[in-house]
């Protein structure tokens, strides 16, 4: 059995807060790739075009631990290469990130509406992770969990890579108490507080999650905080963390969250309307620090605008 070797450190620096992509050359039992360039053209030519791969090779964009590769090198399975992807053009989200807390291990940030937590799909440099890495000068920063792009509020980031697993485990094992706030229609006949349990399914490529019969995999407690006119403020306490869980449960109760572009109806994709943010806020995080044993409690400084 071939011994697994440790991946060397990337020879390329971050660009705009984004790590370089890594390529490990796979085994080639058919001998299809006599040179490194043959493999790169076969691997990436369909996505970006063979001409673009050639151009990147000429410009020294593919780099190994010993420097740029030309593509003429003899193929060597297991070798690692790095390169920076071409970033898509992104509109700047016109809201700043607030830093609620910072120490040698953690950064707790107030993520604004419309800003993704970390790079994914068309959102790469305009993400909370990339911005914080650039603004705070913390290139190793990583999120311990994710918050939906349209949701605002607290996100926990870990400063040192070796600490990340311990904080991620807190979220995985449901040892973090989370409190959210939402503005939604006021329904006088809705008996609150209520605990909603259901089975939520989210399919890749489908915007809306759905509830279906079966063993519940999600649980949320919904409380009424106050109301004025036809709108109300709700306290939401999720015991689990399914995708869109709070939005799905509020919609199921007949009080979809204000300005939600997916529930109850999926709106056509179009330019962002920054004047109508989803009225959902991750307000509080509480947990016992896995390294010090000290209770930690953080509260967002953001406020929802739905009730004025």
Q: Mapping DSSP to helix (H, G, I), strand (E, B) and coil, where does residue 197 land?
A: strand
Question: Among this protein's residues, is 59 annotated catalytic?
Answer: no
Token pair of 152, please? Answer: 């605002």
Question: What's the whole-number mean pLDDT along residues 148-167?
Answer: 97
What digits encode the pLDDT tens for the residues 62-109?
999 999 999 999 999 999 999 999 988 899 999 999 999 999 999 999
Using pLDDT thresholds of 50, 70 and 90, give the confidence band for residue 269.
confident
Domain at 98-299: CATH architecture: 2-Layer Sandwich (3.30)
Of 307 and 244, the one with more pLDDT: 244
* Per-domain boundaries in the chain: 21-83, 98-299
88 within 8 A of 68, measured Cβ to Cβ:
no
- Taking the C-alpha atoms of residue 308 and residue 303, their distance in angstroms, rounded to an integer, is 10
pTM for this predicted structure: 0.90
Beta-sheet strands, E only, within 59-105: 63-64, 67-68, 80-83, 98-102
- Taking the C-alpha atoms of residue 299 and residue 154, their distance in angstroms, rounded to an integer, is 7
Q: Mapping DSSP to helix (H, G, I), strand (E, B) and coil, where does residue 48 land?
A: helix
pLDDT on residue 4? 52
Instruction: Give the C-alpha distances (Å, rounded to integers) separating 278 from 117, 207, 250.
Output: 16, 15, 13
304 within 8 A of 183, measured Cβ to Cβ:
yes
Token pair of 68, please? Answer: 């740029």
pLDDT on residue 308? 65
Angle between helices 50-58 and 36-48 (to 10 degrees): 130
Q: Give percent above pLDDT 90 in the chain.
A: 89
pLDDT on residue 5? 60
pLDDT on residue 306? 74
pLDDT on residue 89? 87
SS3 content of the chain, % helix, strand, coil (to 5): 15, 30, 55
Q: Which residues contact 162 (CB under 8 A, 6 or more apart)?
A: none
- Taking the C-alpha atoms of residue 233 and residue 186, their distance in angstroms, rounded to an integer, is 8
What digits encode the pLDDT tens for the residues 111-141?
999 999 999 888 899 999 999 999 999 999 9
The angle at the Cα of 19, spanning 85 to 135, to the nearest 5 degrees, equals: 115
Residue 7 has pLDDT above 80, yes or no: no
pLDDT on residue 14? 94
pLDDT on residue 46? 93
Q: What are the residues facing 211 on neighbouring strands? A: 200
pLDDT on residue 275? 94
Average pLDDT, whole number, for the chain?
94
Q: Cα 209 to the chain's mean position, in Å?
A: 17
- Taking the C-alpha atoms of residue 276 and residue 186, their distance in angstroms, rounded to an integer, is 19
Is residue 237 classed exposed, middle or buried when 0-12, 13-18 and 19+ CB atoms within 10 A define those classes? middle
272 within 8 A of 114, measured Cβ to Cβ:
yes
Nearest to 90 by CA among 135, 118, 124: 124
Residue 2 has pLDDT above 50, yes or no: no
What digits encode the pLDDT tens for the residues 37-69?
999 999 999 989 999 999 999 999 999 999 999
Instruction: Give the C-alpha distances (Å, rounded to integers) separating 203 from 118, 120, 246.
Output: 20, 16, 17
Strand pairing category for 177-185 and 231-238: antiparallel
Indicate the CATH number for domain 21-83. Answer: 3.10.290
Of 238 and 8, the one with more pLDDT: 238
- Taking the C-alpha atoms of residue 214 and residue 232, their distance in angstroms, rounded to an integer, is 31
Residue 288 has pLDDT above 80, yes or no: yes
Which of 86, 148, 173, 289 does the annotation list as catalytic? 148
65 within 8 A of 118, measured Cβ to Cβ:
no
196 within 8 A of 219, measured Cβ to Cβ:
yes
């Amino acid at each position: 059995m071939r011994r697994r070797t440790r991946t060397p450190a990337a020879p390329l620096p971050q660009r705009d807060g984004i790590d370089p992509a890594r390529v490990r050359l796979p085994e080639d039992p058919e001998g299809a790739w006599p040179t490194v360039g043959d493999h790169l053209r076969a691997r990436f030519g369909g996505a970006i075009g063979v001409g673009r791969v050639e151009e990147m090779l000429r410009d020294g964009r593919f780099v190994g631990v010993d420097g740029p590769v030309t593509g003429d090198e003899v193929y060597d399975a297991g070798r690692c290469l790095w390169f920076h992807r071409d970033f898509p053009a992104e509109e700047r989200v016109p809201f700043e990130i607030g830093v609620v807390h910072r120490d040698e291990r953690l950064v707790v940030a107030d993520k604004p509406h419309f800003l993704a937590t970390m790079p994914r799909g068309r959102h790469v440099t305009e993400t909370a992770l990339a911005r914080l890495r650039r603004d705070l000068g913390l290139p190793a920063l990583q999120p311990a969990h994710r918050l939906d792009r349209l949701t605002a509020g607290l996100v926990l980031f870990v400063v040192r890579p070796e600490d990340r697993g311990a904080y991620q485990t807190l979220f995985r094992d449901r040892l973090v108490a989370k409190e959210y706030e939402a503005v939604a229609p006021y329904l006088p006949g809705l008996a609150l507080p209520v605990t909603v349990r259901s089975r939520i399914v989210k399919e890749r490529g489908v915007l809306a999650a759905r509830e279906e019969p079966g063993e519940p995999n999600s649980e949320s407690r919904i409380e009424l905080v106050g109301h004025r006119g036809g709108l109300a403020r709700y306290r939401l306490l999720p015991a689990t963390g399914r995708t869109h869980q709070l939005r799905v449960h509020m919609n199921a109760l007949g009080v979809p969250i204000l300005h939600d572009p997916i529930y109850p109806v999926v709106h056509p994709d179009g330019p962002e309307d920054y004047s109508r943010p989803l009225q959902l806020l991750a307000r509080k995080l509480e947990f016992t620090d896995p390294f010090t044993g000290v209770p930690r409690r953080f509260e967002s400084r953001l406020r929802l605008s739905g009730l004025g």
